[in-house]
Amino acid sequence: MLRIVPYSHPALRYESVPVQRIDEKLRTQVRSMFDLMYEARGIGLAANQVGLPFRFFILNLTCDPDQTQQEQVFINPEIVKRHSFVIEEEGCLSFPGIYYNVQRARKIRARAFDLAGNLVEIEAEDLLSRAIQHETDHLAGRLFIDLLSAEDKRAAADKIQEVEAGYRRAQAEGIYPPDDEIKRQLNALAKGESASTAV
């Protein structure tokens, strides 16, 4: 069973590996991720946020489970161009309740495979552009808190520590294995050596 992991679960700093096959297993994982994302009222979710160290993420900017035609899956995504910059508030399902300004490119060009295996190139602006950048960062182990201004970093420190304390409590209760074991599982998954998930 998949679950959205909070900071500082090691999956969030994991540099994900490319998806090798678009198959039934991946489609099942994508479906579970959409369910989890809607439940958490998010608009995007990266695979490593559910303990899967693979380069894909999902989006539905409407945050509405009935709007399935708005669901987007980005597999092995790459941002190939960035134009101009804009600062807007951003949050992340791995940091519940934490929102801060982040500078992102206003407009990007990105390439990714979709669930049908087609290579798709898109031009994105504003919220879509921001979401693609946020999620693509996740896949490289980068988090939005890394991009805060020095002032916001100081202001956010206590709230981030609270999220981390929640993770450590859950770990102490046995909901998550020790970090070393999680890292071992992530490496095994990334090498295709294990069928389970590292959460």
Known catalytic residues are: 135
CB 143 to Ni ion: min, Å: 7
Whose Cβ is closer to Ni ion: residue 92's or residue 186's? 92
Of 53, 51, 143, 35, whose CA–CA distance to 90 is shortest?
143
Helices first, then strands: H and E counts in the chain: 4, 5
Binding of Ni ion by 92 (CB under 5 A): yes
Question: Residue 129 belongs to what H/E stretch?
Answer: helix 126-139
Count residues contacting Ni ion (CB under 5 A)?
A: 1
CB 162 to Ni ion: min, Å: 17
Which residues, other chains included, contact 175 with Cβ-Cβ below 8 Å and sequence gap of 6+? none
Whose Cβ is closer to Ni ion: residue 23's or residue 38's? 38
CB 44 to Ni ion: min, Å: 7
**2: its two tokens:** 């998949």
Amino acid at 137: D
CB 171 to Ni ion: min, Å: 20
Whose Cβ is closer to Ni ion: residue 2's or residue 92's? 92
Listed ranges 87-95, 102-110, 124-132, 168-176: which one lies at the site for Ni ion (CB under 5 A): 87-95
**78: its two tokens:** 């790459």
Whose Cβ is closer to Ni ion: residue 6's or residue 113's? 6
Of 44, 67, 52, whose CA–CA distance to 2 is shortest?
52
The residues facing 123 across adjacent strands are 109
CB 93 to Ni ion: min, Å: 6
Q: Which DSSP category does 23 fall into? A: S
Whose Cβ is closer to Ni ion: residue 159's or residue 173's? 159
* Torsional class of 197: left (φ above 0), alpha (ψ -120 to 50), beta (otherwise): beta
Listed ranges 33-41, 85-93, 121-129, 172-180: which one lies at the site for Ni ion (CB under 5 A): 85-93
Question: Residue 38 belongs to what H/E stretch?
Answer: helix 24-39
**Contacts with Ni ion, 37-76, as mask; x by CB under 5 A:** ----------------------------------------
Enumerate binding residues for Ni ion (CB under 5 A): 92
